[in-house]
């Protein structure tokens, strides 16, 4: 495993945590992590450093492959399953989830005033899932593909991806048991998406499935906060 890739897998979640705990800004997370690291950095590495073409870059991420259409089809099915699972999970733990006052307080602590809430939730619904999958399961997954141990190349990035959730989830869900359960669920989802990427060669199942989950959580939050 290349040292620069290990450093990148550490830097990505560290950026989220530092932007929220030190910068206290969700917008800073979007700019540095989602746009800067997840979307632009792989682009710079592939197109500028490696001098690859756009087609090579998209193929590397698992977006443009021979199995792209089957991957999209599987992703659509998984998106529906994931959305239903996310709704069921929210219903199951709704008694431990924060109310609108608590959510507004957390957002205010992350420099999200009420007038920006809709935009932030829209970003989370549309960009969060795909951006993370392009990076963790797309770019990082491709870089780890030469590793001979499948579980190592699946588990390491999944834990790295989930690590910052161990900080953000307890802020939103103060009940320790439920927060721990949700963090474990994030690790499990990351493993599942990594396995699909490794098995099919396509990142589309992970992108569409993760996007569906993010959309459900964003809609649930909006249902709490809407006037």
Percent of the chain with pLDDT over 70: 98
* pLDDT tens per residue across span 55-93: 999 999 999 866 567 788 889 999 999 999 999 999 998
For residue range 102-118, what is the model confidence (pLDDT) as tens digits?
A: 999 999 999 999 999 99
pTM: 0.94
Q: Retrieve residue 123's tokens.
A: 């970003």
> What distance lies between CA 160 and its chain's CA centroid?
11
Q: Is residue 39 over pLDDT 80?
A: yes
Residue ranges covered by each domain of the chain: 3-225
- Give the pLDDT score at 67: 58
Among residues 71, 83, 61, which one has the least CA distance to residue 209? 83
CB 212 within 8 A of CB 220: no
Do the Cβ atoms of 208 and 76 come closer than 8 Å? yes
Mean pLDDT, the chain, as a whole number?
A: 93
Asked if 171 contacts 102 with a C-beta cutoff of 8 angstroms, the reply is no
Q: Which pLDDT score is estimated for 150? A: 86
Q: Of 99, 105, 100, 102, nearest to 24 (Cα)?
A: 105
Give the single-character DSSP code of 145. Answer: T
| pLDDT tens-place string over residues 122-143 | 999 999 999 999 999 999 999 9
């Amino acid at each position: 495993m290349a040292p620069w890739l290990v450093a990148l897998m550490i830097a990505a979640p560290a950026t989220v945590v530092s932007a929220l705990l030190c910068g206290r800004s969700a917008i800073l997370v979007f700019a540095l992590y989602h746009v800067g690291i997840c979307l632009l950095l792989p682009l710079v590495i592939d197109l500028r450093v490696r001098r690859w073409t756009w087609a090579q870059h998209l193929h590397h991420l698992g977006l443009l492959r021979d199995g792209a259409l089957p991957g999209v089809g599987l992703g659509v099915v998984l998106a529906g399953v994931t959305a239903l699972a996310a709704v069921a999970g929210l219903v199951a733990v709704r008694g431990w989830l924060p109310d609108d006052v608590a959510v507004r307080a957390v957002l205010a602590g992350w420099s999200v005033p009420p007038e920006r809430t809709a935009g932030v939730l829209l970003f989370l619904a549309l960009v969060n899932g795909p951006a993370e999958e392009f990076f963790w399961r797309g770019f990082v997954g491709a870089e780890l593909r030469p590793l001979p141990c499948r579980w190592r190349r699946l588990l390491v990035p999944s834990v790295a991806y989930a690590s910052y959730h161990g900080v953000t989830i307890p802020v939103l869900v103060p009940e320790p048991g439920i927060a721990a359960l949700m963090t474990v669920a994030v690790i499990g989802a990351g493993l599942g998406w990594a396995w699909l990427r490794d098995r099919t060669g396509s990142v589309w199942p992970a992108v569409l499935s993760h996007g569906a989950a993010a959309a459900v959580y964003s809609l649930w939050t909006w249902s709490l906060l809407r006037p």
